[in-house]
Every structure is written in C-alpha cells, then in structure tokens.
Amino acid sequence: MAQPAHEGDRFRVVGGAHLQGDVRVCGAKNSVLKLMAAALLAPGLTRLTNVPDIADVKIMAELLTRLGCKVELDIKKSEVSINVPEKPSHRAEYDLVRKMRASINVLGPLVARCGEAEVALPGGDAIGSRGLDYHIKGLMEMGAKVRNEHGYVIAKAENGLHGAEISLDFPSVGATENIMTAAVLAQGITILDNAAREPDVVDLGEFLISMGADIEGLGTPTITIRGVASLKPTIHATIPDRIVTGTWAFAAAITQGDIRIHGCRASDLEVPLEKLVSAGAVVTTTNDGVRVRMEHRPKAIDVSTLPYPGFPTDLQPFIITMNSIADGDAIVTENVFESRFIFVNELLRLGANVRVDGHHAATRGIDHLSSAPVVATDIRAGAGLIIAALVADGITMVEGGFHIDRGYPNFAEQLRSLGADVTRVE
Ligand code: UD1
C-alpha cells in the first residue's frame, strides 16, 4: 500500500549466494488477516494459531481493538486471541485501512453483525487499481444500501441481509471473502458463482464452518451459503503461506541452491512447482513440505498469471527474476494486477534485459545481474529484488524494507541461515 518511505530502512545484500539449508514457513498472511476480521462475526473469544509475525497482523489487531475487541497477540506462541464484544463499533478509519488493504475484509462481517458499516476506501496501491465494485454489488444484492461518501464505503442493512444469487465478473479473492462473511448471517440461501478458489478462501470458509456456518462448495467456482441466526467463537489454525513457500522455491532455483521448505503444502502450489521443474529444478515433496534444488542455470519459461489454481500473481516478480538470469527468452503475462510490472523498472537497474509491453514482460536471460540501489514498491517486489540481488555482482541496497516486513517474518535472518550475506540496515 502507498506509504511514506522511511529513510535508511534498507536491506543490504551481498551478491553471489547459493542458498542451502532448511526453512520453516509461517502461517499465511492472506489467510490470517481475513480470519481475524471474520472473528467479528461471533461475540466471545476466538483463538487463532500459526499466526505469522508480520506487521500486517499488528495493524489488523489495532483495527479490531478500535472496533471494540480485546486482542492479545502472543508472537512467541504464534497465536492471537480476539475477544469480540456483543456490539462492536462499525467504523474502520482511514489511517489504518490505508496501511493495509485487507482491512476492507471487516466490511462483510460488520454489515452482517451490526446492520451497518463504514469502512474507509483503501485508495491506490502500487500494484494496480484494485476496485471494490464486486464487494459493493454483492452486498447490495443481499439487500444492503451502499454509498460512497467522504472516502468511506457506507453500507446499511437495517432489516438485516437476505440471501441472493450473485455472480462475480472476475473470481476476486476479496469480494468472495466479503460476500461469504456477510452471507453466513443473512436470511436464506446465497449462491455465489464464479467465486475465488484460493486456499485462503477455503481456509476462511472452514473457519466459518467451525463457527457454525453452513457453507458448501469451497474450493469450487460455486459456493452455497445457508444463513444461520448466530455464530459461536472458535479455535482455528491458519494454513501455511503458499506465497512464502513459493518465494523460497524460486529463491532455490534462482541462486542454484538447495532448500528444504518445512511446514508447507506442495498441493497449494502445483502450477508454480511444475514451472520450476520445466526450468530444470528438482522438486521433491517431503513429509512436511517440499525440497527444491537447482544444479545448473535455470531455463527461461513462459508464464501467465491467473486466479487459483493458475500461477499466482504474487509470485510473478520471482519468475521474472528467474527468467532474467536464465538461459533463453521468455514471456510473462500478467492477467490479475495491471501495474505489477512496476517492479521491472527496478530489475532493469540491476542490469536485467526485460521489455514490458502492456500485460507482457519479455525477458532475454543474461549470465548475472549487477548491483545497484533499488526500491521495493510492494511486499513481493521487495522480496523479488532481494533475491535478484543475491545473484548480482557486488552489494545491493534495497530501499523500502518495511514492505518486506509486511509479508516475510525475519527475512534477513532466514536468508543468513541459508548462507547468504544479508543485513537489515535501519
Ligand atoms: C488478494 C491478495 C493479493 C493477491 C490477490 C490475487 C490480500 C490482502 N491480497 O488481493 O495478495 O495478489 O488476492 O490472488 O488477500 N477487482 C475489481 N473489483 C473488485 C475486486 C477486484 O475490479 O471489486 C479486480 C482487481 O482490480 C484485480 C482483480 O480483480 O484486477 C483481482 O482482485 P482480488 O482477487 O480481489 O484481489 P485482492 O483480494 O485485492
């Protein structure tokens, strides 16, 4: 999200690494934030485990506190407890929403619980326009009156929400989640067509089911939700972060290394792992994760980003980084977020040969990159630049370290444990 850069908030990366060793994957950022928001649906104490130690969890905890919840975050145990009041307040302010788009996930639960919600519009994002029209249309179809006033989405359903047949134009993750969390307490049946199938959506659905919701079709394009009168608090373990898993998998391939990734699910990453095999990596599933090893220069591969189970847009910076030092030419097509190629401008500063034309980025692989000061523009771009810097000659300073903290706990420490020379310069 757009945030002021902090002077000196950098990663210092020494090039020439071959990452080797073991890493453990944390709980999924894009899951835990939605689970925390959905806790609002039931008064009482909900407990989440496998919670990652990332900045966004703290922001969501602050947002829930302002809505009247008592939130206890135990970083050592990777747990968060959320005690939700009988009557939460219903306004999510701009100062928090602007820091983290996932704040918009309180919209569905608040309308369902309070009959009204005022949530600040998250504003521009460095990866694209990211509208809310599907979220709003879905709530309106369930009987809410929604207007946009003074930078806030104001939704009211004085007589409660009712079930509806809703079809999304695009299988949006956020809209599927907001509609699902609103429909669980609506009167009657909601059928959501062209729903997102991401593992994060399935995790949220299973969490809601454990609270007493009646949901069928998770992981398929049609989700059926029968509204219930009330939900109860629950205990739930967040799924492993598939994007962090993918980051380590590509890091192994890019640095011609060998990483055993523990505590993850290879089944959530079938397409990216197949692409790594096409690039020449040896990928083996282990009893608690996956091992990725690359013994030679990777081969360049073509990729199109797509909604799950397609290749995730969040891994796009890593595939472009790999192609930029791979053997051959390749084209990456971005179908989800139009501005995600901003990252390429920074990669060019490291000497990569990439040409962007609309939704396509064409790379011509070169032997190695060359160090230069670069700027992280979002979480994944930041991690991508650090990994690119590992295969650049010399020392690269990556500015905008706070972006990386939003998605990767202790990234510098983890990289050091794999043999890289990376330090955080505050
Ligand atoms: C989530 C993830 C993000 C990931 C993305 C796709 C979080 C906090 N973020 O984002 O990391 O890259 O899923 O897997 O969970 N769109 C509209 N109108 C809408 C909603 C979406 O036009 O009302 C468009 C967006 O501009 C974008 C596309 O649909 O082009 C996908 O958006 P969506 O799946 O909603 O992504 P997010 O939930 O924002």
What's the pLDDT tens digit per position in 123-153?
Answer: 655 555 568 999 999 999 999 999 999 989 9
Residue 5 within any structural domain of the chain: no
Q: State the distance from the centre of ligand 1 to the C-alpha of 173, rounded, in angstroms.
A: 6
pLDDT tens sequence across 362-388: 999 999 999 999 999 999 999 999 999
DSSP E strand stretches across 222-266 = 222-226, 235-237, 258-262
Helices (H), 279-371: 316-324, 342-349
- Both 381 and 406 in a single domain? yes
Say yes or no: 109 and 224 in one domain.
yes
Continuous H helices in 142-196: 173-183
- Rounded CA-CA distance 168/122 in Å is 21
Number of domains in the chain: 2
Residue 47 sits in the same domain as residue 191:
yes
Q: Is there a single domain that holds both residue 314 and residue 215?
A: no
The pTM (predicted TM-score) of the whole model is 0.95
- From 96, 101, 170, 197, mutation site for ligand 1 pocket: most ligand atoms within 8 A of C-beta: 170
Distance CA 333, CA 360 (A): 4
**Does a structural domain hold residue 205?**
yes
**Judgement on whether residues 411 and 294 belong to the same structural domain of the protein:** yes
**To the nearest whole percent, how much of the chain has pLDDT over 90?**
91
* CA–CA distance, 366 with 285 (Å, rounded to integer): 30
Kindly state whether residues 19 and 93 are assigned to the same domain. Answer: no
Last residue of a domain, one of 214, 237, 260: 237
What residues make up the domain containing 121? 29-237
pLDDT of res. 8: 55
Considering the domain boundaries, does residue 183 fall inside one?
A: yes
Asked, for residue 213, whether it belongs to a domain, the answer is yes
Same domain, 93 and 145: yes
- The answer to whether residues 63 and 156 belong to one domain is yes
> What is the residue-averaged pLDDT of the chain?
95
Domain assignment present for residue 420? The answer is: yes
Specify whether 125 is catalytic. yes
pLDDT digits (tens, 9 = 90+) for 275-334: 999 999 999 999 999 999 999 999 999 999 999 999 999 999 999 999 999 999 999 999
Asked whether the beta carbons of 293 and 286 are under 8 A apart, the reply is no
The protein residue whose alpha carbon is closest to atom 11 in ligand 1 is: 314
Average pLDDT value for residue range 188-192: 98
Report the CATH number at residue 339.
3.65.10.10
pLDDT of residue 349: 97
pLDDT-based confidence at 172, cuts 50/70/90? Answer: very high
74 and 218 together in one domain: yes
Q: What is the pLDDT of residue 287?
A: 94
Of the three residues 187, 209, 237, the one that is the final residue of a domain is 237
Residues 341, 252: one domain? yes
Catalytic choice (22, 56, 95, 125): 125
Same domain, 71 and 168: yes
Stated as kind and residue range, the H or E segment containing 285 is strand 282-286
